[in-house]
A and B are shown apart, each in its own frame.
Chain A
């Protein structure tokens, strides 16, 4: 790989990272907080690539030097793969396939005194908050309340539909699903990866996730509507 190609690779990688971080596409892969760092590092790659490319071209014009060393390692060619992936495939955010591959993740809470549900009828909750309350304290704070959750659907093993959300700590590589089984007339056979907003009430049944044996709580759905995929498809 000659030096001009190395500079071009920096421009390509910098361009790809800048492209996803100037739109909302980066939120499919990493968290919102990384955005300024993505923009700055992409800018630095573009500047470094441009300076070195300009120098190589100037040098070549001056000396007509064709023996420019092939100094880059072969493995550097692999840097085109993330660029291709971003520009050509544009991988979607993690969905029902990722949810099926990993067990539901409801971390044991540090204390069992849950704050009361947020006010409102229905009370808006994250899927993680609902699942944690339902698994660890049953109906203590959920009794008699209608809650509203949003997430994407996936098929339940043995029939039925689940509501899922992927929790991200840092990037999609550490994404962990939280799952809730939906029951009730409205949770009919929805195709996987449909984004929905549901309202419903606590149901005491639980499933055992075949992937890790953790409990998957139930939600008795009273209303359901399809929504657009949210800008940030993950929960924290």
Chain B
């Protein structure tokens, strides 16, 4: 009771209440997607044999990357689902380059996100096409880059509990719990950070940054990273950033689903430190590059 009173006292100021509301909102909004992600990931682990992926993905890894990247169209969710699913794919023997192309493309190019983008930019339908092309381009480029330079020893998947001798439903529940515990804690880290920045970064800083076209692109890329907004909502936020050029806003939409603080924290928990510290900065560069290129051609 004493603890509760202290806690409530700490959160009595308006700023702390705004922070707490934003923090709870991020976690609650992500929860259905995270749960769907860990359940699909557990279903893959328990029920889908490795031979399935051998059949549907081309043998040649260089071809498997674009196929898996476009496979992201089929996952109607956001980035909280794709991290555990990509982890399950790597465990199931899918070539990591293809699993990463899926990880990066799925949150950005699925139908729900594209429809949200169309609704948010009613006067600029070319934004939908630009988002699809730039996201797919960056995801496939990252997959190929991994085939070229990636090293499997960077990936350190947390050891899953031994499931030999368990019934399939029990194995399913145990695997889902394991993935939820690993990704969920990091979701909270991302939510805390994003809420701090949302509440305490002054809005008028953005107006100043919008004036120079190059600074504007980089500023919105960084904003996408720190805000960690769900990919189903980011188009509406981008639409409201009216001070910025369409190309800068495209960068916001391409970078956010591929790399942000929440995703980085979840990748840290799912694939390990050596992986996340290398993968995240390169993803940021690739996604900015793809947006600038596509923005220049299409917008």
Chain A nearest Cβ from B198, distance in angstroms: 6
Residues of A within 8 A of B (CB): 1, 3, 6-7, 9-10, 13, 17, 20, 26, 28-30, 34, 37-38, 40-42, 44-45, 47-49, 51-52, 55, 69, 71-79, 81-82, 84-86, 88-89, 91-98, 101-103, 105, 107-108, 110, 169-176, 210-214
**Alpha-carbon distance A176/B236, docked complex (angstroms):** 10
Using CB atoms, name the residue of chain A closest to B236: A169
What residues of B have a CB within 8 angstroms of the CB of A73 in the complex?
A: 158, 181-182, 185, 269
Q: Are A173 and B227 in contact (CB under 8 A)?
A: yes
What residues of A have a CB within 8 angstroms of the CB of B129 in the complex?
A: none
What residues of B have a CB within 8 angstroms of the CB of A74 in the complex?
A: 185
Q: Are B184 and A13 in contact (CB under 8 A)?
A: yes
B133 within 8 A of A: no
Q: Are A41 and B29 in contact (CB under 8 A)?
A: no
**Alpha-carbon distance A91/B13, docked complex (angstroms):** 11
Chain A nearest Cβ from B237, distance in angstroms: 5
Interface of B is mostly: helix
What residues of A have a CB within 8 angstroms of the CB of B233 in the complex?
A: 169-171, 173-174
B102 within 8 A of A: no
Using CB atoms, name the residue of chain A closest to B161: A71
Interface set, chain B 233-275, CB cutoff 8 A to A: 233-237, 239-240, 242-243, 269
Known A-B contacts A17-B28, A30-B25, A170-B236; the reply to A79 vs B207 at CB < 8 A is no
Residues of B within 8 A of A (CB): 4, 7-8, 11, 14-15, 17-18, 20-29, 31-32, 34-36, 39, 120, 122-123, 158-159, 161, 169-170, 173-174, 176-178, 180-182, 184-186, 188-189, 191-192, 194-195, 198-199, 202-204, 206-207, 227, 229-230, 232-237, 239-240, 242-243, 269
**Alpha-carbon distance A176/B35, docked complex (angstroms):** 28
Q: Are B177 and A29 in contact (CB under 8 A)?
A: no
Known A-B contacts A44-B35, A173-B227; the reply to A211 vs B202 at CB < 8 A is yes
Chain B nearest Cβ from A32, distance in angstroms: 13
Instruction: Give the contacting residue for A28; candidates B21, B185, B269; CB below 8 A.
Output: B21
Chain A nearest Cβ from B246, distance in angstroms: 12
Using CB atoms, name the residue of chain B closest to A50: B173
**Residue of B4, B173, B232 with most partner-chain A CB within 10 A:** B173
**Alpha-carbon distance A212/B169, docked complex (angstroms):** 54
Interface of A is mostly: helix
Instruction: Give the contacting residue for A41; candidates B31, B169, B230, B232; CB below 8 A.
Output: B31
Using CB atoms, name the residue of chain A closest to B194: A173
Q: Are B174 and A52 in contact (CB under 8 A)?
A: yes
Instruction: Give the contacting residue for A171; candidates B161, B170, B230, B235; CB below 8 A.
Output: B230
What residues of A have a CB within 8 angstroms of the CB of B198 in the complex?
A: 173
Chain B nearest Cβ from A95, distance in angstroms: 8
**Alpha-carbon distance A28/B21, docked complex (angstroms):** 8
What residues of A have a CB within 8 angstroms of the CB of B32 in the complex?
A: 34, 37-38, 40-41
Using CB atoms, name the residue of chain B closest to A236: B236
Instruction: Give the contacting residue for B185; candidates A41, A76, A212; CB below 8 A.
Output: A76
Q: Are A93 and B21 in contact (CB under 8 A)?
A: yes
Known A-B contacts A75-B185, A91-B24; the reply to A52 vs B173 at CB < 8 A is yes
**Residue of B8, B31, B235 with most partner-chain A CB within 10 A:** B31
What residues of B have a CB within 8 angstroms of the CB of A76 in the complex?
A: 181-182, 184-185
Q: Are B18 and A97 in contact (CB under 8 A)?
A: yes
A to B CB contacts below 8 Å, 28 in the list = A6-B181, A13-B31, A20-B28, A28-B21, A41-B35, A41-B36, A45-B180, A48-B176, A73-B181, A77-B185, A79-B181, A81-B23, A82-B191, A84-B7, A85-B24, A89-B17, A89-B20, A94-B21, A97-B14, A97-B15, A107-B242, A170-B230, A170-B233, A173-B29, A173-B198, A174-B237, A176-B237, A211-B202
